[in-house]
């Protein structure tokens, strides 16, 4: 196996050495008992992995005849599409769902606030907060935030028609959830339009939540015997003598969390492209091509999980195409440098959201750009060196060699060069035995002169 193939495989194994342990950090799901209380958790930014986990867990709770679902929340917010998938699953649930901001110091900001409003019962632990639900991305271009904006400061009025449309849509959505659950409609709109936030006790006083509970046992004790409207049916909650089962994210959730990281998507995409380039340069082994194809497919799968800017994706594809063309057909850097510039701009605007977790790392983009420029520079250097080298095969290699005429001749005749007979032309008469030098080659005729 060639050295660059070994290096390429080593880089790939290094990536998966980091990726596989992240996927594998999961426990085997516990055996579920009938009529149990299922405890789920939303921790960190809400994205495709979170929505997949919650939606599947709620469905599994129905399949196992659970009596109650508790979702413990500690989130700064997340993607709109993922949030709506979770809310739709809660609204479709025939089992009461309790959203509980826990532990102390946790928060339920932005998308978490919508989930609180959608739940049949909303609760918070002391020293927690919720709110700041102004949308930053609702499947469209993001609402720009000022340099001094924060989650706890009043929001500014949207400036453009598009921004007003996004905020109005979000206001109507949370208002409908508040009306459905009989919670404070006015504050819900304030959380969207002014990014308002509340502490646990304030939320209880404002009828935003139903309970403040110190821990899960306290929460279950307080809601025991409470009646809630579940899909137009009144259900009385009974928590006494019920088993509590914690259903943490499984390997699938961890895998989705890793593969939907835009930084890893960029790395996999670059590995895929360079793997295919290496395969084109030295076909036959197959390892770089196979690995590159797998990495490209994984990157494509991760991309379809995220809200992608098609302009950014188009620029990345253009940049990669130009870099591949530069590697295969050197253009003295014009195509390569243009490709790097297109790739950098595309990577910066690739993910259409203001959620920090799903932003592409600028240092990573810079590192990939520098690496690509260096690779293009090395390719150009090798190309120029090859062009400067003397030919080592073919008829042109005979230029500069010496030989002897076979007979006397004045214009055309035969000469012997390294044991081979060649037809030759000369501008001066030559005699048999003279030493001649090859000046140039025209087809299969040599132009020679006497040395």
Which stretch of 27-31, 60-64, 269-273, 362-366 has the lowest confidence by average pLDDT?
27-31
- Specify the 3-state DSSP secondary structure of 17: helix
Residues 6+ apart with CB under 8 A from 439: 399, 446, 447, 448, 449
Mean pLDDT of 385-410: 74
Q: Which residue has the higher pLDDT, 236 or 331?
A: 236
Instruction: Report whether pLDDT(240) > 80.
Output: yes
Q: Which residue has the higher pLDDT, 394 or 229?
A: 229
Share of the chain above pLDDT 90, in %: 39
Confidence class of residue 245 from pLDDT cuts 50, 70 and 90? Answer: very high
This prediction's pTM: 0.71
Q: Which residue has the higher pLDDT, 55 or 266?
A: 55
165 is a catalytic site residue: yes
Query: What is d(CA 437, CA 415) in angstroms, rounded to the nearest whole number?
Result: 10
Mean pLDDT of 273-283: 76
Mean pLDDT of the chain: 83
Q: Burial of 345 by CB count in 10 Å (0-12 exposed, 13-18 middle, 19+ buried)?
A: middle
Q: How much is the pLDDT for 177?
A: 96
Q: Are strands 37-43 and 402-405 parallel, antiparallel or unpaired?
A: unpaired
- Residue 81 parent element (H or E): helix 80-92
Instruction: Report whether pLDDT(29) > 80.
Output: no
Confidence class of residue 433 from pLDDT cuts 50, 70 and 90? Answer: confident
Catalytic one of 25, 165, 423, 432: 165
Instruction: Report whether pLDDT(30) > 60.
Output: no
- Specify the 3-state DSSP secondary structure of 412: strand
Instruction: Report whether pLDDT(25) > 50.
Output: no
Confidence class of residue 8 from pLDDT cuts 50, 70 and 90? Answer: very low
Q: 302-315, pLDDT tens digit by residue? A: 888 888 888 988 99
Q: How much is the pLDDT for 390?
A: 60
Q: How much is the pLDDT for 139?
A: 36
Eight-class DSSP state of 308: B
Kindly report the CATH number that applies to the domain delimited by 395-450: 2.40.50.140
Judge whether 288 and 8 are in contact, CB under 8 Å.
yes
Q: How much is the pLDDT for 32?
A: 63
Question: CATH: 3.40.50.11720, 3.40.1280.10, 3.20.20.70, 3.90.226.10. Which one for 33-249?
Answer: 3.90.226.10
Instruction: Report whether pLDDT(420) > 90.
Output: no
Task: Compute the chain's Rg from CA coordinates.
Answer: 35
Q: Which residue has the higher pLDDT, 356 or 240?
A: 240
Q: Which residue has the higher pLDDT, 305 or 277?
A: 305
Mean pLDDT of 411-415: 89
Q: How much is the pLDDT for 217?
A: 96
Q: 156-198, pLDDT tens digit by residue? A: 455 577 778 888 899 999 999 999 999 999 999 999 999 899 9
Q: Which residue has the higher pLDDT, 56 or 143?
A: 56
Instruction: Report whether pLDDT(384) > 90.
Output: no
Eight-class DSSP state of 29: P
Q: 50-75, pLDDT tens digit by residue? A: 999 999 999 999 999 999 999 999 99
Eight-class DSSP state of 139: S
Share of the chain above pLDDT 70, in %: 82
Instruction: Report whether pLDDT(323) > 80.
Output: no
Q: How much is the pLDDT for 418?
A: 82
Residues 6+ apart with CB under 8 A from 271: 11, 12, 15, 291, 292, 295
Instruction: Report whether pLDDT(46) > 80.
Output: yes
- Specify the 3-state DSSP secondary structure of 183: coil
Q: Burial of 131 by CB count in 10 Å (0-12 exposed, 13-18 middle, 19+ buried)?
A: buried
Q: Are strands 420-425 and 121-124 parallel, antiparallel or unpaired?
A: unpaired
Which stretch of 21-30, 154-163, 299-308 has the lowest confidence by average pLDDT?
21-30
Q: 68-107, pLDDT tens digit by residue? A: 999 999 999 998 999 999 999 999 999 999 999 999 999 9
Catalytic one of 110, 171, 197, 260: 110
Which stretch of 18-22, 269-273, 332-336 has the lowest confidence by average pLDDT?
18-22
Q: Are strands 445-450 and 436-442 parallel, antiparallel or unpaired?
A: antiparallel
110 is a catalytic site residue: yes
Q: Burial of 260 by CB count in 10 Å (0-12 exposed, 13-18 middle, 19+ buried)?
A: buried
Give the relative orientation of helices 334-348 and 310-328 as an angle to the nearest 10 degrees. 160
């Amino acid at each position: 196996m060639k050295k660059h193939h070994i290096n390429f495989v080593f880089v790939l194994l290094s990536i998966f050495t980091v990726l596989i342990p992240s996927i594998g950090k999961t426990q085997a799901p516990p055996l579920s008992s009938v009529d149990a209380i299922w405890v789920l958790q939303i921790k960190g930014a809400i994205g495709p992995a979170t929505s997949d986990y919650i939606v599947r867990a709620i469905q599994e709770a129905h399949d196992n005849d659970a009596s109650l679902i508790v979702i413990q929340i500690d989130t700064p917010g997340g993607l709109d599409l993922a949030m709506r998938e979770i809310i739709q699953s809660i609204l479709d649930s025939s089992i009461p769902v309790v959203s509980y901001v826990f532990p102390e110091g946790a928060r339920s900001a932005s998308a978490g606030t919508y989930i609180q409003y959608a739940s049949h019962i909303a609760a918070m632990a002391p020293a927690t907060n919720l709110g700041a639900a102004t949308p930053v991305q609702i499947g469209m271009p993001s609402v720009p935030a000022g340099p001094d904006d924060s989650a706890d400061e009043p929001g500014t009025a949207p400036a453009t028609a598009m921004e007003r449309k996004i905020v109005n849509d979000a206001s109507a959505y949370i208002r409908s959830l508040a009306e459905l659950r009989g919670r404070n409609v006015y504050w819900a709109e304030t959380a969207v339009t002014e990014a308002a936030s509340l502490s646990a006790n304030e939320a209880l006083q404002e009828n935003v939540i139903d309970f403040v509970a110190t821990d899960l046992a306290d929460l279950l004790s307080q809601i025991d015997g409470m009646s809630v409207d579940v899909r137009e049916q009144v259900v009385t909650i009974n928590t006494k003598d019920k088993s509590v089962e914690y259903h943490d994210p499984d390997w699938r959730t961890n895998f989705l969390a890793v593969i939907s990281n835009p930084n890893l998507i960029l790395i996999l995409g670059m590995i895929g492209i360079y793997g295919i380039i290496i395969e084109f340069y030295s076909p036959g082994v197959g390892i770089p091509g196979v690995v590159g194809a797998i990495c490209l497919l994984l990157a494509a799968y991760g991309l379809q999980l995220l809200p992608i800017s098609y302009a950014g994706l188009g620029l990345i594809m253009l940049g990669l195409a130009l870099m591949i063309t530069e590697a295969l057909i050197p253009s003295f850097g014009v195509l390569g440098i243009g490709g790097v510039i297109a790739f950098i701009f595309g990577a910066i605007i690739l993910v259409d959201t203001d959620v920090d977790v799903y932003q592409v790392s600028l240092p990573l983009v810079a590192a990939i750009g520098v690496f690509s420029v260096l690779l293009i520079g090395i390719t150009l250097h090798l190309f120029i060196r090859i062009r400067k080298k003397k030919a080592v095969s073919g008829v042109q290699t005979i230029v500069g060699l010496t030989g002897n005429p076979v007979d006397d001749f004045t214009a055309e005749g035969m000469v012997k060069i390294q044991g081979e007979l060649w037809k030759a032309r000369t501008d001066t008469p030559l005699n048999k035995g003279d030493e001649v030098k090859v000046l140039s080659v025209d087809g299969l005729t040599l132009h020679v002169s006497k040395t």
